[in-house]
Amino acid sequence: MKDKIQYFNNLRAIACILVILTHASMPASNPAFGIFLAGFSLLSSPSSELFVTISASLLAPAKQGMFEFYKKRFSKLIGPFLFWSVVVVLIDFLQGDVTLNEAGTKLLLFPISPVTGVYWFVYAICGLYLIIPIVSPWLESATKRMFYFILALWSLTLLFPYLNLIFDKSIYSIDGDYYFILNYLGGFVGFLFLGVFLRKYPVVFKNKRNSIMSLLAIFLFGSLPVIYGVFFDRDVLLISRENLSITSMLYVAGIFIFFQNFRLPFFIESFFNLIAKYSYGIYLIHLLVVRDLVWNVLEKNRIYHPIVETPLITATSLFLCLIIVLLISKLPKSQNIIGA
């Protein structure tokens, strides 16, 4: 049980670091550096989807009744989300990025539209929370073969956007299509199924050699559309970088399976446990830290190469986020601000 909890904490921490890495890269100071920024973008691409998969693994199938589940999950999610949404809008207003009327509109639309783009993830999670009690009976009773079938259908929806390029016609939108036959098996619900499947039927190899070879195959196969896109067709690359792409799905599965099979050194796991504990709070504040603090400091003191600058921004931002959430955690009712 302890090992199981630890690998989930490792996954949470990695997802958290990848989310920060996603937004850490400053605009290229030299056009030749574009390839490195693209590499960091690819490396960090499965971050939010990994969070969804972890959440599904831990929460589904629901152990409580529908409304009890909703009360427990949303009470932990909404408070910190509302608090930091107000903070973001207030900072934008004070910086002159939005007018008072625009700020009011953003807050008025908060229930259905994020005040900042990066918060889209919370809305996706809310949608999955709503559906978890509904699909829980099936998740509880589903066999491995049934999961394979549903995951195969979902995987098809991740491949269909490439048909648009093959036939030069709008056949399927990567964001979904209400009139498409597989619509209800598409979208982020697939990561919910994937998360439950990987927890219910762990992919554990008998030896490290098999683990390494299998994981390399997963990551290589996931990278094929990206490699093709880089050298032959930029449109393929753009599709492959989407949240709902076959590349993202394979990367998420590969990372998940890696931590099911490998432990990290004790000191790293101890640090990861701290990140995991405050991962929601870190997620909510990371963009403010990256863009409004770290970027502002580096704006006139750029580090020459992004291969050094981007990891440094990521590490510095993570450290600052941790300090902020740890300080906030000392306050009364801090769970309503950072969710921990």
What's this model's pTM, rounded to 2 decimal places?
0.88
pLDDT, average across residues 241-247? 85
- State yes or no: pLDDT of 1 exceeds 60: no
- Residue 263: per-residue pLDDT: 87
| Alpha helical stretches, state H, the chain | 2-24, 34-44, 47-59, 66-94, 100-108, 120-141, 144-159, 161-166, 189-200, 208-231, 234-240, 246-261, 266-277, 279-287, 295-298, 306-328, 335-338
Lowest mean pLDDT segment, chosen from 20-34, 178-192, 264-278 = 20-34
Task: Give residue-wise pLDDT tens across range 55-107.
Answer: 888 888 888 889 999 999 998 899 999 999 999 999 989 888 889 998 899 98
- Residue 10: per-residue pLDDT: 92
Contacts (Cβ under 8 Å, ≥6 apart) of 295 = 26, 313
- Residue 141: per-residue pLDDT: 92
Question: Residue 65 and residue 203: Cα distance in Å, rounded?
Answer: 30
pLDDT, average across residues 308-318? 89
- Residue 29: per-residue pLDDT: 66
pLDDT, average across residues 116-141? 91
Question: What does the mean pLDDT of the chain come to?
Answer: 87
- Residue 16: per-residue pLDDT: 92
Task: Give residue-wise pLDDT tens across range 34-58.
Answer: 777 777 777 788 888 898 899 888 8
Question: Residue 71 and residue 52: Cα distance in Å, rounded?
Answer: 19
- Residue 146: per-residue pLDDT: 95
Task: Give residue-wise pLDDT tens across range 130-159.
Answer: 999 999 999 999 999 999 999 999 998 888
- Residue 336: per-residue pLDDT: 85
- Residue 81: per-residue pLDDT: 92
- Residue 96: per-residue pLDDT: 86
- Residue 30: per-residue pLDDT: 67
pLDDT, average across residues 235-262? 88
- Residue 151: per-residue pLDDT: 95
> In the chain, what percentage of residues exceed pLDDT 90?
38
Question: Residue 45 and residue 210: Cα distance in Å, rounded?
Answer: 26
- Residue 194: per-residue pLDDT: 94
Question: Residue 279 and residue 340: Cα distance in Å, rounded?
Answer: 9
pLDDT class for 305, splitting at 50, 70, 90? confident
pLDDT class for 32, splitting at 50, 70, 90? low
- State yes or no: pLDDT of 257 exceeds 70: yes
pLDDT, average across residues 297-326? 86
pLDDT class for 294, splitting at 50, 70, 90? confident
- Residue 176: per-residue pLDDT: 64
- Burial class from Cβ neighbours inside 10 Å (0-12, 13-18, 19+) for residue 34 reads exposed
